Amino acid sequence: MGVTIYATLDGFFHEVVAETLVEQRVCTSESTTYYLVDLLAELSVSPLPEEPLSLKLARASGSLEESTLLKEVGDTSLYVTGLFTETIEKGIVSRDFYETLGEAAYSRLASSFRGRTALADVYEELSLRFKDFVHVMENVRKRLCIEAPAATERLLLLSKQDQRASQIVEDEKKSA
């Protein structure tokens, strides 16, 4: 068994994602495959966001940075739900909550980009098949044997923040 050396994280993750898609019999566009590769490469070297995702999603509406915020919510939801499933299941906020956030963020991105860029199709596919791509990420994690005890504490904190933020948003809706 030889050792493969990759020049970039993208090259490494492309092989892992492509093999995982084939193993799981998930058919997707090449653009979406590359999006997943870029997502893994980017978030593997970036810290998780400090702001609760539910607040970020609420703040995105109508803001100048709406696309950026929606992308962060969708990408982080997919990444966290797929790579840290066990941590999410131990948290206060359910996996369904993160899946709903991710689907909503990608759906809004697809709508905002429709007719203007090919990314609209990628976001549409991510929104409609979010759970399929969570399973892809779960299997990428298994292939890579990712264990992240330090990330577990951070994700549990993020989960608690999202629960509080979600309650604040719901309370504000009721009082409006």
The DSSP call for residue 147 is -
Task: Determine the pLDDT at residue 94.
Answer: 82
Q: 1 in a domain, yes or no?
A: no
Task: Determine the pLDDT at residue 65.
Answer: 92
Task: Determine the pLDDT at residue 4.
Answer: 65
Task: Determine the pLDDT at residue 150.
Answer: 45
Sign of CA dihedral 131, 132, 133, 137: positive
Q: 3 in a domain, yes or no?
A: no
Between CA 156 and CA 164 the distance in angstroms is 13
Task: Determine the pLDDT at residue 76.
Answer: 94
Task: Determine the pLDDT at residue 172.
Answer: 54
* Length of the chain (residues): 176
Q: 124 in a domain, yes or no?
A: yes
Q: 4 in a domain, yes or no?
A: no
Mean pLDDT by 10 residues, the chain (176 residues): 68 90 94 95 84 89 90 95 80 86 96 89 97 94 67 45 52 55
Between CA 88 and CA 34 the distance in angstroms is 26
Q: 2 in a domain, yes or no?
A: no
Residue range of the domain that includes 50: 9-175
Angle at 61 between CA 54 and CA 92, to 5 degrees: 5
Nearest to 103 by CA among 136, 83, 77: 77
Is 48 in a helix, a strand, or coil? Answer: coil
Q: 105 in a domain, yes or no?
A: yes
Q: 148 in a domain, yes or no?
A: yes
Count of domains forming the chain: 1
Q: 36 in a domain, yes or no?
A: yes
